[in-house]
Every structure is written in structure tokens, then in C-alpha cells.
């Protein structure tokens, strides 16, 4: 995560601790990416977009039983 760890923290904490899997409904959409870009620039927005895409892929694989 390194230099952009704060983006991951922004997307998940404290939301993940408060809402579990449901936290993805709060800060994991295209509006969040636009908000991050407007406030922090294009690179953090790309990090957020990647984070969200990976969360969606992992959740989908878990639902299909491909991951535990």
C-alpha cells in the first residue's frame, strides 16, 4: 500500500469495523472516486478505483465459492 495507504484507510476505516461487509455500500462507488479525485487528485482516485474493483472481484469470487 505504501504511499497511498491513506486512500485504503479512507475507503475502509472506520466503516469496515462499524458495518462489516456492508461498508462497501458507503464508500465503494463511482461517486467516491469522483470525490477523491476532486479533493486529492487523479492518482489517489485511481488507487481508490483499483481498491473498489478488487473488493468487488474478491466478494464475487467468495460468493461463487472460489475463495474462502
Helix (H, G, I), strand (E, B) or coil at 14: coil
- Contact yes or no for 5/47 (Cβ under 8 A): no
Q: What is the pLDDT of residue 36?
A: 97
Q: What is the pLDDT of residue 23?
A: 81
**pLDDT (tens digit, 9 = 90+) per residue, 12-55?**
888 888 888 788 788 899 999 999 999 999 999 999 999 999 99
Q: What is the DSSP letter of 38?
A: H
Q: In this predicted structure, which of 9-13, 18-22, 58-62 has the lowest mean pLDDT?
A: 18-22
* Nearest alpha carbon to residue 34 among 44, 25, 24: 44
Per-domain boundaries in the chain? 2-63
* Nearest alpha carbon to residue 10 among 30, 29, 36: 36
Stated pTM of the model = 0.84
In the structure, what pLDDT confidence band is assigned to residue 1 with cuts at 50, 70 and 90?
low
Amino acid at each position: 500500500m505504501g504511499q497511498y495507504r491513506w486512500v485504503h484507510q479512507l475507503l475502509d476505516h472506520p466503516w469496515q469495523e462499524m458495518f462489516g461487509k456492508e461498508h462497501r455500500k458507503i464508500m465503494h462507488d463511482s461517486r467516491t472516486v469522483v470525490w477523491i479525485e476532486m479533493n486529492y487528485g487523479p492518482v489517489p482516485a485511481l488507487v481508490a478505483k483499483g481498491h473498489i474493483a478488487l473488493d468487488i472481484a474478491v466478494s464475487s469470487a467468495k460468493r461463487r465459492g472460489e475463495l474462502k
